[in-house]
Amino acid sequence: MEKTSHSLTVFGDFSVPFLGILEDLLLPSMESIFLEISLISAQGMRPPPGRRRLQTYALIWVDPEIKLRTLVDRDGGPNPTWNDKFLFRVPRSCLADDSPSAVSIEFYASGGRYLPDSVIGSVRLLVGTLRLLSRRPGRAAFDAVGIRRPSGRIEGVLNVAAAVLGSVSVVAARALELRPAVGYRELMEVPPKNRRRRRGEGGPVLQELNQASAAEEGSPAATFCCGPCVLDFSRSARHPDGNAPASEDQNLPL
């Protein structure tokens, strides 16, 4: 409800100056934008030599110093499905049509308890070729990219979606102030399967946010709320027609 007091407009419990600060935090600037990458699934992946069962996960990064990870797909074998989303704050110039900038993705076969994890493929997603800056904010571009095995041979296809977001949640914006990349699952505090999260226990990102908040306020760590109320994680990125295109060593237009 809007009310006015001494020429200061107030919306509910928030004044105009506060809303201005909040807008600067949640909206992209002229120099940087919010880039959302969805790792949907892959087809035609091959297990490393000597292993029959294939359980895969992926690492994704723009800055090699900050790598994010999907969950391990335990059921899909050579055709894993992740549907994991990641959020990056990147310079606007990275998405120019002639930009050489790329999002790097590396695929691993989980070794379980006794064997080391093995690299089984990699992808360089050339984000400039997706022409995201010409799309409406939030509208995803779908692509299929050939997966390069460690031997250099192209084998398998990664299904991926990318979008430029017009705004993000308060929690995501705060997290992106502390680091340039974050995974949605970290923000939502999704615990591993077969383990219930203890009361007061948070994921690494939320723990970092709470510690930063406590340091700023000089008080015990405050708790950031998150979940469906502030994060749109229910959307499922899928290829419009469901068909997997043939693989090549470049981004494939759909």
Question: Can you give the chain as a three-state secondary structure string?
Answer: CEEEECCEEEECCEEHHHHHHHHHHHCCCCCEEEEEEEEEEEECCCCCCCCCCCCEEEEEECCCCCCEECCCECCCCCCCEEEEEEEEEEEHHHHCCCCCCEEEEEEEECCCCCCCCEEEEEEEEEHHHHCHHHCCCCCCEEEEEEEECCCCCEEEEEEEEEEEECCCCHHHHHHHHHCCEEEHHHHHCCCCCCCCCCCCCCCHHHHHHHHHHHHHHCCCCCCCCCCCCCCCCCCCCCCCCCCCCCCCCCEECC
For residue 22, what pLDDT is reported?
A: 45
Per-residue pLDDT for 210 more than 70? Answer: no
Q: What is the pLDDT of residues 89-132, one digit of tens each?
A: 999 998 898 889 999 999 999 998 888 999 999 999 999 999 99
Q: So what's the pLDDT on residue 183?
A: 94
Specify the pLDDT at position 78. 95
Let me know if domain 9-239 sits in CATH 3.40.640.10: no
Tokens of 36: 């959302």
- pLDDT of 6 > 60? The answer is no
Structure tokens at 158: 């990664």
Q: Which residue has the higher pLDDT, 245 or 156?
A: 156
**Least confident stretch, 3-17, 96-110, 232-246:** 3-17
Q: How many CA atoms lie within 13 A of 201 on its CB side?
A: 8
Joined together, the tokens standing for residue 78 give 């050579």
Share of the chain above pLDDT 70, in %: 62
Sketch the domain layout of the chain as residue ranges: 9-239
Residue 125 tokens read as 């997603």
At residue 168, the pLDDT reads 87
Task: Report the pLDDT averaged over residues 182-205.
Answer: 60
Residue 119 near residue 107 (C-beta atoms within 8 A): yes
Say how far apart CA 254 and CA 252 lie, in whole Å. 6
pLDDT digits (tens, 9 = 90+) for 21-78: 444 445 555 578 999 999 999 999 999 888 888 999 999 999 999 999 999 999 999 9
- Report the pLDDT value the prediction gives residue 188, as an integer from 0 to 100: 80
Nearest CA-CA partner of 145 in 38, 37, 253, 251: 251
